[in-house]
DNA sequence: TCACATTTGTCCGTATGTATC
DNA sequence: AGATACATACGGACAAATGTG
Protein backbone atom coordinates (compact mmCIF):
# COMPACT_ATOMS: atom_id res chain seq x y z
CA UNK A 1 0.00 0.00 0.00
CA UNK A 2 1.45 3.19 -1.13
CA UNK A 3 -1.39 5.43 -0.06
CA UNK A 4 -3.33 5.50 3.15
CA UNK A 5 -4.68 8.98 2.82
CA UNK A 6 -8.29 8.04 3.35
CA UNK A 7 -9.84 11.30 4.47
CA UNK A 8 -12.39 9.33 6.49
CA UNK A 9 -9.47 8.01 8.46
CA UNK A 10 -11.50 6.14 10.99
CA UNK A 11 -10.68 2.84 9.32
CA UNK A 12 -7.10 2.40 10.36
CA UNK A 13 -5.79 -0.60 8.48
CA UNK A 14 -3.90 -3.34 10.27
CA UNK A 15 -2.88 -4.86 7.02
CA UNK A 16 0.46 -4.16 5.42
CA UNK A 17 2.11 -6.05 2.59
CA UNK A 18 5.72 -6.72 3.36
CA UNK A 19 8.37 -4.96 1.38
CA UNK A 20 8.58 -6.06 -2.20
CA UNK A 21 5.15 -7.65 -2.25
CA UNK A 22 2.45 -5.91 -4.20
CA UNK A 23 -0.81 -5.19 -2.42
CA UNK A 24 -2.91 -7.48 -4.56
CA UNK A 25 -0.45 -10.30 -3.94
CA UNK A 26 -0.70 -9.73 -0.23
CA UNK A 27 -4.50 -9.75 -0.38
CA UNK A 28 -4.70 -12.91 -2.47
CA UNK A 29 -2.11 -14.52 -0.23
CA UNK A 30 -4.05 -13.68 2.92
CA UNK A 31 -7.29 -15.03 1.50
CA UNK A 32 -5.54 -18.16 0.29
CA UNK A 33 -4.13 -18.65 3.75
CA UNK A 34 -7.61 -18.43 5.24
CA UNK A 35 -8.82 -21.04 2.77
CA UNK A 36 -5.91 -23.33 3.67
CA UNK A 37 -6.67 -22.88 7.36
CA UNK A 38 -10.23 -23.93 6.74
CA UNK A 39 -11.74 -20.60 7.76
CA UNK A 40 -13.38 -20.54 4.35
CA UNK A 41 -14.67 -23.73 2.85
CA UNK A 42 -16.10 -24.67 -0.51
CA UNK A 43 -19.53 -23.12 -0.84
CA UNK A 44 -18.78 -20.22 1.49
CA UNK A 45 -19.19 -16.77 0.11
CA UNK A 46 -16.58 -14.07 0.43
CA UNK A 47 -17.70 -10.50 1.05
CA UNK A 48 -18.22 -8.31 -2.03
CA UNK A 49 -15.23 -6.56 -3.53
CA UNK A 50 -15.94 -3.26 -1.80
CA UNK A 51 -16.15 -4.93 1.59
CA UNK A 52 -12.96 -6.94 1.07
CA UNK A 53 -11.25 -3.73 0.09
CA UNK A 54 -12.54 -1.99 3.19
CA UNK A 55 -11.36 -4.76 5.48
CA UNK A 56 -7.88 -4.92 4.00
CA UNK A 57 -7.70 -1.18 3.55
CA UNK A 58 -7.16 -1.32 -0.19
CA UNK A 59 -9.07 -0.14 -3.21
CA UNK A 60 -11.50 -2.19 -5.24
CA UNK A 61 -9.07 -2.32 -8.13
CA UNK A 62 -6.49 -3.98 -5.92
CA UNK A 63 -9.07 -6.46 -4.64
CA UNK A 64 -10.10 -7.30 -8.18
CA UNK A 65 -6.55 -8.17 -9.17
CA UNK A 66 -6.27 -10.36 -6.09
CA UNK A 67 -9.50 -12.10 -7.03
CA UNK A 68 -8.20 -12.72 -10.55
CA UNK A 69 -5.28 -14.63 -9.06
CA UNK A 70 -7.48 -16.70 -6.77
CA UNK A 71 -9.86 -17.38 -9.62
CA UNK A 72 -7.05 -18.46 -11.91
CA UNK A 73 -5.70 -20.75 -9.19
CA UNK A 74 -9.07 -22.44 -8.83
CA UNK A 75 -9.91 -21.33 -5.31
CA UNK A 76 -12.87 -19.10 -6.07
CA UNK A 77 -15.47 -18.43 -8.69
CA UNK A 78 -17.32 -15.17 -9.11
CA UNK A 79 -20.89 -14.40 -9.90
CA UNK A 80 -22.57 -11.17 -10.75
CA UNK A 81 -25.92 -10.11 -9.46
CA UNK A 82 -27.59 -9.54 -6.18
CA UNK A 83 -26.58 -12.63 -4.26
CA UNK A 84 -23.39 -13.02 -6.22
CA UNK A 85 -19.84 -12.15 -5.37
CA UNK A 86 -16.79 -14.30 -4.87
CA UNK A 87 -17.45 -17.84 -3.67
CA UNK A 88 -15.05 -20.53 -2.51
CA UNK A 89 -15.15 -23.39 -5.00
CA UNK A 90 -12.54 -26.09 -5.24
CA UNK A 91 -11.57 -26.28 -8.89
CA UNK A 92 -7.83 -26.37 -8.27
CA UNK A 93 -7.32 -29.72 -9.98
CA UNK A 94 -9.22 -28.60 -13.05
CA UNK A 95 -7.09 -25.45 -13.20
CA UNK A 96 -3.93 -27.49 -12.85
CA UNK A 97 -5.08 -29.64 -15.76
CA UNK A 98 -5.75 -26.59 -17.90
CA UNK A 99 -2.27 -25.33 -17.16
CA UNK A 100 -0.77 -28.68 -18.03
CA UNK A 101 -2.66 -28.61 -21.31
CA UNK A 102 -1.29 -25.13 -21.98
CA UNK A 103 2.21 -26.39 -21.39
CA UNK A 104 1.51 -29.33 -23.65
CA UNK A 105 0.64 -26.93 -26.48
CA UNK A 106 3.26 -24.36 -25.60
CA UNK A 107 6.11 -26.87 -25.49
CA UNK A 108 4.73 -28.68 -28.50
CA UNK A 109 4.75 -32.04 -26.77
CA UNK A 110 3.65 -35.09 -28.71
CA UNK A 111 0.82 -37.42 -27.85
CA UNK A 112 3.42 -40.11 -28.36
CA UNK A 113 5.52 -39.13 -25.38
CA UNK A 114 2.41 -38.48 -23.34
CA UNK A 115 1.22 -41.99 -24.05
CA UNK A 116 4.63 -43.42 -23.27
CA UNK A 117 4.67 -41.77 -19.86
CA UNK A 118 1.09 -42.76 -19.24
CA UNK A 119 2.03 -46.31 -20.05
CA UNK A 120 4.67 -46.50 -17.34
CA UNK A 121 2.80 -44.49 -14.74
CA UNK A 122 -0.45 -46.34 -15.10
CA UNK A 123 1.27 -49.70 -14.83
CA UNK A 124 3.09 -48.60 -11.70
CA UNK A 125 -0.15 -47.31 -10.24
CA UNK A 126 -1.98 -50.50 -11.08
CA UNK A 127 0.02 -52.46 -8.54
CA UNK A 128 -1.61 -50.41 -5.79
CA UNK A 129 -5.01 -50.73 -7.40
CA UNK A 130 -4.87 -54.49 -7.07
CA UNK A 131 -3.70 -54.19 -3.47
CA UNK A 132 -6.27 -51.67 -2.32
CA UNK A 133 -9.30 -51.93 -4.54
CA UNK A 134 -12.58 -51.84 -2.63
CA UNK A 135 -16.08 -52.92 -3.45
CA UNK A 136 -17.17 -49.34 -4.27
CA UNK A 137 -14.37 -49.04 -6.82
CA UNK A 138 -15.40 -52.30 -8.49
CA UNK A 139 -18.97 -51.05 -8.61
CA UNK A 140 -17.86 -47.79 -10.22
CA UNK A 141 -15.81 -49.66 -12.81
CA UNK A 142 -18.71 -52.01 -13.58
CA UNK A 143 -21.08 -49.10 -14.00
CA UNK A 144 -18.60 -47.39 -16.27
CA UNK A 145 -18.24 -50.41 -18.52
CA UNK A 146 -22.02 -50.83 -18.65
CA UNK A 147 -22.51 -47.24 -19.73
CA UNK A 148 -19.84 -47.62 -22.38
CA UNK A 149 -21.61 -50.70 -23.71
CA UNK A 150 -24.92 -48.87 -23.88
CA UNK A 151 -23.32 -46.13 -25.94
CA UNK A 152 -21.82 -48.72 -28.26
CA UNK A 153 -25.20 -50.29 -28.80
CA UNK A 154 -26.46 -46.89 -29.87
CA UNK A 155 -23.60 -46.70 -32.35
CA UNK A 156 -22.08 -43.99 -30.23
CA UNK A 157 -18.39 -43.87 -29.33
CA UNK A 158 -17.88 -43.93 -25.55
CA UNK A 159 -14.81 -41.67 -25.50
CA UNK A 160 -15.52 -40.02 -22.20
CA UNK A 161 -16.49 -43.28 -20.53
CA UNK A 162 -13.28 -44.93 -21.64
CA UNK A 163 -11.23 -42.07 -20.26
CA UNK A 164 -13.23 -42.05 -17.06
CA UNK A 165 -12.35 -45.72 -16.58
CA UNK A 166 -8.77 -44.72 -15.92
CA UNK A 167 -9.78 -41.98 -13.52
CA UNK A 168 -11.69 -44.55 -11.52
CA UNK A 169 -8.65 -46.81 -11.54
CA UNK A 170 -6.59 -43.93 -10.18
CA UNK A 171 -9.10 -43.41 -7.39
CA UNK A 172 -8.90 -47.10 -6.56
CA UNK A 173 -5.14 -46.76 -6.03
CA UNK A 174 -6.01 -44.72 -2.94
CA UNK A 175 -3.07 -42.49 -3.71
CA UNK A 176 -4.00 -38.89 -4.39
CA UNK A 177 -0.71 -38.11 -6.11
CA UNK A 178 -1.37 -40.79 -8.71
CA UNK A 179 -4.89 -39.43 -9.05
CA UNK A 180 -3.59 -35.97 -9.81
CA UNK A 181 -0.99 -37.15 -12.30
CA UNK A 182 -3.48 -39.39 -14.11
CA UNK A 183 -5.97 -36.53 -14.18
CA UNK A 184 -3.38 -34.32 -15.87
CA UNK A 185 -2.55 -36.92 -18.49
CA UNK A 186 -6.14 -37.93 -19.17
CA UNK A 187 -7.32 -34.35 -19.46
CA UNK A 188 -4.98 -33.96 -22.42
CA UNK A 189 -6.23 -37.19 -23.96
CA UNK A 190 -9.81 -36.06 -23.43
CA UNK A 191 -9.06 -32.71 -25.01
CA UNK A 192 -7.72 -34.26 -28.19
CA UNK A 193 -10.54 -36.74 -28.42
CA UNK A 194 -13.07 -33.94 -28.30
CA UNK A 195 -11.06 -31.99 -30.85
CA UNK A 196 -10.79 -34.54 -33.61
CA UNK A 197 -14.05 -36.31 -33.14
CA UNK A 198 -13.55 -39.39 -35.21
CA UNK A 199 -15.93 -42.25 -34.75
CA UNK A 200 -14.27 -45.61 -34.73
CA UNK A 201 -16.80 -47.97 -33.24
CA UNK A 202 -14.68 -51.04 -33.81
CA UNK A 203 -11.72 -49.72 -31.87
CA UNK A 204 -13.94 -48.32 -29.15
CA UNK A 205 -15.59 -51.70 -28.76
CA UNK A 206 -12.19 -53.33 -28.52
CA UNK A 207 -11.18 -50.93 -25.75
CA UNK A 208 -14.37 -51.48 -23.81
CA UNK A 209 -13.78 -55.19 -24.11
CA UNK A 210 -10.27 -54.84 -22.70
CA UNK A 211 -11.59 -52.67 -19.88
CA UNK A 212 -14.00 -55.41 -19.04
CA UNK A 213 -11.20 -57.97 -19.02
CA UNK A 214 -9.11 -55.79 -16.71
CA UNK A 215 -12.10 -55.46 -14.44
CA UNK A 216 -12.39 -59.23 -14.26
CA UNK A 217 -8.74 -59.48 -13.37
CA UNK A 218 -9.18 -56.92 -10.61
CA UNK A 219 -12.13 -58.78 -9.15
CA UNK A 220 -10.14 -61.97 -9.10
CA UNK A 221 -7.09 -60.13 -7.77
CA UNK A 222 -5.11 -61.62 -10.61
CA UNK A 223 -2.37 -59.06 -10.95
CA UNK A 224 -0.31 -60.80 -13.61
CA UNK A 225 -3.25 -61.34 -15.91
CA UNK A 226 -4.58 -57.81 -15.39
CA UNK A 227 -1.25 -56.24 -16.13
CA UNK A 228 -0.95 -58.23 -19.33
CA UNK A 229 -4.30 -56.93 -20.51
CA UNK A 230 -3.45 -53.43 -19.36
CA UNK A 231 -0.34 -53.70 -21.48
CA UNK A 232 -2.39 -54.74 -24.45
CA UNK A 233 -4.86 -51.94 -23.82
CA UNK A 234 -2.20 -49.28 -23.66
CA UNK A 235 -0.59 -50.55 -26.83
CA UNK A 236 -3.97 -50.34 -28.50
CA UNK A 237 -4.48 -46.82 -27.21
CA UNK A 238 -1.06 -45.91 -28.43
CA UNK A 239 -1.80 -46.92 -32.00
CA UNK A 240 -5.03 -44.95 -31.92
CA UNK A 241 -3.60 -41.80 -30.43
CA UNK A 242 -0.39 -41.61 -32.38
CA UNK A 243 -1.43 -42.72 -35.81
CA UNK A 244 -1.56 -39.06 -36.70
CA UNK A 245 -1.15 -35.67 -35.07
CA UNK A 246 2.26 -36.40 -33.60
CA UNK A 247 2.49 -32.89 -32.33
CA UNK A 248 0.28 -29.91 -32.81
CA UNK A 249 0.69 -26.19 -33.06
CA UNK B 1 -16.69 -4.34 -23.34
CA UNK B 2 -19.72 -2.67 -22.04
CA UNK B 3 -18.77 0.86 -22.99
CA UNK B 4 -17.44 2.20 -26.22
CA UNK B 5 -18.32 5.80 -25.65
CA UNK B 6 -14.85 7.15 -26.13
CA UNK B 7 -15.50 10.76 -27.02
CA UNK B 8 -12.28 10.84 -29.00
CA UNK B 9 -13.86 8.19 -31.16
CA UNK B 10 -11.14 8.11 -33.75
CA UNK B 11 -9.86 4.83 -32.36
CA UNK B 12 -12.55 2.48 -33.54
CA UNK B 13 -11.87 -0.85 -31.88
CA UNK B 14 -11.90 -4.05 -33.87
CA UNK B 15 -11.82 -6.08 -30.74
CA UNK B 16 -14.91 -7.50 -29.11
CA UNK B 17 -15.10 -10.22 -26.49
CA UNK B 18 -17.67 -12.78 -27.40
CA UNK B 19 -20.77 -13.11 -25.31
CA UNK B 20 -20.12 -14.54 -21.90
CA UNK B 21 -16.43 -13.83 -21.94
CA UNK B 22 -15.20 -10.97 -19.84
CA UNK B 23 -13.02 -8.35 -21.47
CA UNK B 24 -9.92 -9.14 -19.48
CA UNK B 25 -10.32 -12.83 -20.34
CA UNK B 26 -10.52 -11.97 -24.00
CA UNK B 27 -7.40 -9.81 -23.76
CA UNK B 28 -5.38 -12.42 -21.87
CA UNK B 29 -6.59 -15.08 -24.27
CA UNK B 30 -5.55 -13.07 -27.31
CA UNK B 31 -2.11 -12.40 -25.92
CA UNK B 32 -1.72 -16.03 -24.94
CA UNK B 33 -2.64 -17.04 -28.45
CA UNK B 34 0.05 -14.76 -29.84
CA UNK B 35 2.58 -16.34 -27.51
CA UNK B 36 1.52 -19.83 -28.62
CA UNK B 37 1.82 -18.79 -32.24
CA UNK B 38 5.35 -17.65 -31.60
CA UNK B 39 4.63 -14.00 -32.41
CA UNK B 40 6.00 -13.21 -28.96
CA UNK B 41 8.93 -15.18 -27.64
CA UNK B 42 10.72 -15.34 -24.31
CA UNK B 43 12.65 -12.13 -23.83
CA UNK B 44 10.32 -10.03 -25.97
CA UNK B 45 8.68 -7.06 -24.36
CA UNK B 46 4.99 -6.35 -24.57
CA UNK B 47 3.84 -2.74 -24.95
CA UNK B 48 3.05 -0.84 -21.76
CA UNK B 49 -0.38 -1.27 -20.21
CA UNK B 50 -1.75 1.94 -21.68
CA UNK B 51 -0.67 0.95 -25.18
CA UNK B 52 -2.10 -2.55 -24.88
CA UNK B 53 -5.34 -1.00 -23.72
CA UNK B 54 -5.37 1.38 -26.67
CA UNK B 55 -4.79 -1.44 -29.16
CA UNK B 56 -7.51 -3.65 -27.75
CA UNK B 57 -9.79 -0.71 -27.06
CA UNK B 58 -10.10 -1.40 -23.36
CA UNK B 59 -9.16 0.47 -20.23
CA UNK B 60 -5.91 0.13 -18.41
CA UNK B 61 -7.65 -1.58 -15.51
CA UNK B 62 -8.92 -4.30 -17.82
CA UNK B 63 -5.43 -4.80 -19.22
CA UNK B 64 -4.03 -5.13 -15.73
CA UNK B 65 -6.44 -7.92 -14.85
CA UNK B 66 -5.48 -9.69 -18.07
CA UNK B 67 -1.81 -9.33 -17.18
CA UNK B 68 -2.46 -10.82 -13.74
CA UNK B 69 -3.78 -13.96 -15.41
CA UNK B 70 -0.82 -14.21 -17.77
CA UNK B 71 1.57 -13.57 -14.92
CA UNK B 72 -0.06 -16.23 -12.76
CA UNK B 73 0.11 -18.69 -15.64
CA UNK B 74 3.84 -18.12 -16.03
CA UNK B 75 3.82 -16.50 -19.46
CA UNK B 76 4.97 -13.03 -18.50
CA UNK B 77 6.78 -11.16 -15.78
CA UNK B 78 6.42 -7.47 -15.09
CA UNK B 79 8.89 -4.82 -14.12
CA UNK B 80 8.38 -1.26 -13.06
CA UNK B 81 10.41 1.64 -14.22
CA UNK B 82 11.42 3.29 -17.40
CA UNK B 83 12.54 0.26 -19.36
CA UNK B 84 10.12 -2.03 -17.61
CA UNK B 85 6.69 -3.31 -18.55
CA UNK B 86 5.41 -6.79 -19.29
CA UNK B 87 7.96 -9.21 -20.71
CA UNK B 88 7.51 -12.69 -22.09
CA UNK B 89 9.28 -15.13 -19.80
CA UNK B 90 8.72 -18.85 -19.76
CA UNK B 91 8.09 -19.79 -16.14
CA UNK B 92 5.09 -21.98 -16.83
CA UNK B 93 6.63 -25.11 -15.35
CA UNK B 94 7.60 -23.29 -12.19
CA UNK B 95 4.04 -21.96 -11.89
CA UNK B 96 2.63 -25.43 -12.41
CA UNK B 97 4.88 -26.68 -9.61
CA UNK B 98 3.69 -23.93 -7.29
CA UNK B 99 0.11 -24.86 -8.02
CA UNK B 100 0.84 -28.52 -7.37
CA UNK B 101 2.40 -27.56 -4.06
CA UNK B 102 -0.70 -25.55 -3.22
CA UNK B 103 -2.86 -28.57 -3.94
CA UNK B 104 -0.54 -30.69 -1.85
CA UNK B 105 -1.18 -28.41 1.13
CA UNK B 106 -4.81 -27.78 0.37
CA UNK B 107 -5.70 -31.45 0.06
CA UNK B 108 -3.44 -32.30 2.98
CA UNK B 109 -1.56 -34.94 1.08
CA UNK B 110 1.13 -36.88 2.84
CA UNK B 111 4.76 -37.12 1.92
CA UNK B 112 4.22 -40.84 2.23
CA UNK B 113 1.88 -41.09 -0.72
CA UNK B 114 4.01 -38.64 -2.66
CA UNK B 115 7.01 -40.86 -2.14
CA UNK B 116 5.04 -43.93 -3.07
CA UNK B 117 4.00 -42.42 -6.37
CA UNK B 118 7.47 -41.11 -6.98
CA UNK B 119 8.78 -44.60 -6.39
CA UNK B 120 6.67 -46.11 -9.14
CA UNK B 121 6.99 -43.26 -11.59
CA UNK B 122 10.72 -42.91 -11.28
CA UNK B 123 11.24 -46.61 -11.76
CA UNK B 124 9.08 -46.60 -14.87
CA UNK B 125 10.95 -43.60 -16.20
CA UNK B 126 14.30 -45.18 -15.49
CA UNK B 127 13.74 -47.79 -18.17
CA UNK B 128 13.86 -45.03 -20.78
CA UNK B 129 16.84 -43.42 -19.12
CA UNK B 130 18.88 -46.55 -19.66
CA UNK B 131 17.70 -46.77 -23.25
CA UNK B 132 18.32 -43.17 -24.22
CA UNK B 133 20.99 -41.76 -21.97
CA UNK B 134 23.59 -39.69 -23.79
CA UNK B 135 27.07 -38.59 -22.94
CA UNK B 136 25.93 -35.10 -21.92
CA UNK B 137 23.51 -36.61 -19.44
CA UNK B 138 26.24 -38.75 -17.93
CA UNK B 139 28.45 -35.69 -17.67
CA UNK B 140 25.71 -33.76 -15.90
CA UNK B 141 25.16 -36.62 -13.46
CA UNK B 142 28.88 -36.90 -12.76
CA UNK B 143 29.14 -33.19 -12.15
CA UNK B 144 26.17 -33.36 -9.83
CA UNK B 145 27.68 -36.15 -7.76
CA UNK B 146 31.00 -34.32 -7.58
CA UNK B 147 29.34 -31.17 -6.29
CA UNK B 148 27.44 -33.17 -3.71
CA UNK B 149 30.68 -34.73 -2.52
CA UNK B 150 32.33 -31.34 -2.19
CA UNK B 151 29.49 -30.15 -0.01
CA UNK B 152 29.78 -33.25 2.14
CA UNK B 153 33.48 -32.60 2.65
CA UNK B 154 32.57 -29.15 3.91
CA UNK B 155 30.16 -30.78 6.38
CA UNK B 156 27.31 -29.35 4.36
CA UNK B 157 24.20 -31.35 3.38
CA UNK B 158 23.75 -31.48 -0.40
CA UNK B 159 19.94 -31.41 -0.38
CA UNK B 160 19.50 -29.46 -3.58
CA UNK B 161 22.15 -31.47 -5.40
CA UNK B 162 20.52 -34.72 -4.43
CA UNK B 163 17.16 -33.51 -5.69
CA UNK B 164 18.72 -32.15 -8.85
CA UNK B 165 20.12 -35.63 -9.54
CA UNK B 166 16.60 -36.84 -10.22
CA UNK B 167 15.80 -33.89 -12.45
CA UNK B 168 18.82 -34.76 -14.54
CA UNK B 169 17.64 -38.36 -14.71
CA UNK B 170 14.26 -37.13 -15.95
CA UNK B 171 15.96 -35.08 -18.65
CA UNK B 172 17.91 -38.17 -19.69
CA UNK B 173 14.65 -40.02 -20.28
CA UNK B 174 14.11 -37.68 -23.24
CA UNK B 175 10.44 -37.61 -22.40
CA UNK B 176 9.14 -34.17 -21.48
CA UNK B 177 6.03 -35.53 -19.79
CA UNK B 178 8.15 -37.49 -17.34
CA UNK B 179 10.26 -34.38 -16.85
CA UNK B 180 7.20 -32.34 -15.93
CA UNK B 181 5.81 -34.96 -13.57
CA UNK B 182 9.16 -35.45 -11.82
CA UNK B 183 9.54 -31.69 -11.56
CA UNK B 184 6.18 -31.48 -9.79
CA UNK B 185 7.06 -34.22 -7.33
CA UNK B 186 10.59 -33.02 -6.64
CA UNK B 187 9.49 -29.44 -6.13
CA UNK B 188 7.40 -30.65 -3.21
CA UNK B 189 10.32 -32.64 -1.83
CA UNK B 190 12.56 -29.62 -2.22
CA UNK B 191 10.05 -27.42 -0.47
CA UNK B 192 9.91 -29.64 2.59
CA UNK B 193 13.65 -30.02 2.73
CA UNK B 194 14.11 -26.30 2.83
CA UNK B 195 11.38 -26.02 5.44
CA UNK B 196 12.70 -28.40 8.07
CA UNK B 197 16.37 -27.92 7.55
CA UNK B 198 17.80 -30.82 9.45
CA UNK B 199 21.38 -31.74 8.88
CA UNK B 200 21.97 -35.44 8.65
CA UNK B 201 25.35 -35.83 7.06
CA UNK B 202 25.41 -39.58 7.42
CA UNK B 203 22.19 -40.13 5.49
CA UNK B 204 23.15 -37.54 2.89
CA UNK B 205 26.43 -39.32 2.34
CA UNK B 206 24.60 -42.59 1.94
CA UNK B 207 22.33 -41.05 -0.71
CA UNK B 208 25.23 -39.56 -2.62
CA UNK B 209 26.88 -42.94 -2.53
CA UNK B 210 23.80 -44.60 -3.98
CA UNK B 211 23.57 -41.89 -6.65
CA UNK B 212 27.11 -42.71 -7.61
CA UNK B 213 26.29 -46.40 -7.83
CA UNK B 214 23.30 -45.69 -10.05
CA UNK B 215 25.48 -43.56 -12.22
CA UNK B 216 27.91 -46.46 -12.62
CA UNK B 217 25.07 -48.73 -13.60
CA UNK B 218 23.90 -46.23 -16.19
CA UNK B 219 27.36 -45.94 -17.69
CA UNK B 220 27.57 -49.70 -17.94
CA UNK B 221 24.00 -49.89 -19.22
CA UNK B 222 23.30 -52.41 -16.52
CA UNK B 223 19.58 -51.94 -16.09
CA UNK B 224 18.96 -54.68 -13.55
CA UNK B 225 21.69 -53.55 -11.24
CA UNK B 226 20.74 -49.89 -11.55
CA UNK B 227 17.13 -50.58 -10.78
CA UNK B 228 18.09 -52.55 -7.70
CA UNK B 229 20.08 -49.62 -6.39
CA UNK B 230 17.34 -47.19 -7.35
CA UNK B 231 15.00 -49.34 -5.31
CA UNK B 232 17.33 -49.16 -2.36
CA UNK B 233 17.71 -45.41 -2.80
CA UNK B 234 13.99 -44.78 -2.85
CA UNK B 235 13.48 -46.93 0.22
CA UNK B 236 16.16 -44.89 1.96
CA UNK B 237 14.51 -41.65 0.87
CA UNK B 238 11.21 -42.96 2.09
CA UNK B 239 12.48 -43.55 5.60
CA UNK B 240 13.98 -40.08 5.68
CA UNK B 241 10.96 -38.26 4.36
CA UNK B 242 8.28 -40.07 6.26
CA UNK B 243 9.87 -40.54 9.63
CA UNK B 244 7.82 -37.56 10.72
CA UNK B 245 5.49 -34.97 9.26
CA UNK B 246 3.12 -37.48 7.70
CA UNK B 247 0.87 -34.68 6.62
CA UNK B 248 0.98 -31.02 7.31
CA UNK B 249 -1.47 -28.21 7.76
C1' DT C 1 24.52 13.34 -7.59
C1' DC C 2 20.43 14.95 -9.21
C1' DA C 3 16.67 15.97 -12.00
C1' DC C 4 13.65 13.74 -15.55
C1' DA C 5 11.01 10.51 -18.19
C1' DT C 6 8.65 6.17 -18.38
C1' DT C 7 5.95 2.62 -16.59
C1' DT C 8 3.76 -0.01 -13.00
C1' DG C 9 1.13 0.32 -8.58
C1' DT C 10 -2.74 2.24 -6.30
C1' DC C 11 -6.37 5.24 -5.41
C1' DC C 12 -11.06 7.48 -6.33
C1' DG C 13 -15.37 8.38 -8.72
C1' DT C 14 -18.82 7.04 -12.04
C1' DA C 15 -21.53 4.40 -15.26
C1' DT C 16 -23.46 0.11 -16.82
C1' DG C 17 -24.47 -4.77 -17.25
C1' DT C 18 -26.46 -8.70 -14.71
C1' DA C 19 -28.77 -11.62 -11.69
C1' DT C 20 -31.95 -11.97 -7.76
C1' DC C 21 -35.88 -10.76 -5.14
C1' DA D 1 -41.71 -5.34 -13.96
C1' DG D 2 -39.05 -2.72 -10.91
C1' DA D 3 -35.76 -2.22 -7.25
C1' DT D 4 -31.53 -3.90 -5.31
C1' DA D 5 -26.87 -5.61 -5.00
C1' DC D 6 -23.26 -7.06 -7.14
C1' DA D 7 -19.42 -7.43 -10.77
C1' DT D 8 -17.62 -5.23 -14.94
C1' DA D 9 -15.53 -1.43 -17.10
C1' DC D 10 -14.37 3.27 -17.85
C1' DG D 11 -11.47 7.73 -16.91
C1' DG D 12 -8.39 10.42 -14.32
C1' DA D 13 -5.04 11.15 -10.81
C1' DC D 14 -0.91 10.54 -8.00
C1' DA D 15 2.81 7.53 -5.79
C1' DA D 16 6.66 4.54 -6.35
C1' DA D 17 10.19 2.24 -8.93
C1' DT D 18 13.79 2.38 -12.31
C1' DG D 19 16.63 3.68 -15.78
C1' DT D 20 18.82 7.94 -18.36
C1' DG D 21 21.19 12.15 -19.08
Give every residue of chain B whose pLDDT is below 70, as ranges. 1-14, 243-249
The CATH fold of domain B6-90? Arc Repressor Mutant, subunit A (1.10.10)
The pLDDT of residue A11 is 37
Portions of chain B given CATH number 1.20.120.530: 94-241
B180, A103: Cβ pair inside 8 Å? yes
Segment A59-79, tens digit of pLDDT: 999 999 999 999 999 999 999
Question: Could you give the angle at the alpha carbon of A195 between the alpha carbons of A177 and A203, nearest 5°?
Answer: 80
Between CA A124 and CA A63 the distance in angstroms is 44
pTM: 0.91
Portions of chain B given CATH number 1.10.10.10: 6-90
- Write the DSSP symbol of residue B246: S
Backbone torsions φ then ψ of A225, nearest 5 degrees: -65, -45
The pLDDT of residue A245 is 46
Reported residue count of chain B is: 249
Segment B194-226, tens digit of pLDDT: 887 777 889 999 999 999 999 999 999 898 999
Q: Give the residue from B140, B158, B133 showing the smallest Cα distance to B209.
A: B158
Of B103, B128, B175, which has the smallest distance from its Cβ to A96's Cβ? B103
The pLDDT of residue A239 is 83
Segment A11-35, tens digit of pLDDT: 345 577 777 899 999 999 999 999 9
Identify whether the C-beta of residue B176 lies closer than 8 Å to the C-beta of residue B168. no
Q: Does CATH place domain A94-241 in 3.40.50.11140? A: no
Chain B window 63-122: residues with CB closer than 7 Å to nucleic chain D are 65, 79-84
Give every residue of chain A whose pLDDT is below 50, as ranges. 1-12, 245-249
Integer-rounded Cα Rg, in Å, for chain B is 24
**Measured in angstroms, what separates residue A181's CA from nucleotide C11's C1'?**
43
Residues 137-176 of B with CB under 8 A from A: 175-176
Amino acid sequence: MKKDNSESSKNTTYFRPYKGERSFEAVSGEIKKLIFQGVFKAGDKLPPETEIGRQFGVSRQTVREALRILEQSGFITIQQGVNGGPMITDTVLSRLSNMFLDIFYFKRLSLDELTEARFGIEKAMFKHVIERVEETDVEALKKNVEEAKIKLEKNDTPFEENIEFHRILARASKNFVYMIVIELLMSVVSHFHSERNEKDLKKSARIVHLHEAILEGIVEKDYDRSVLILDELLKEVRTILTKKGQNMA
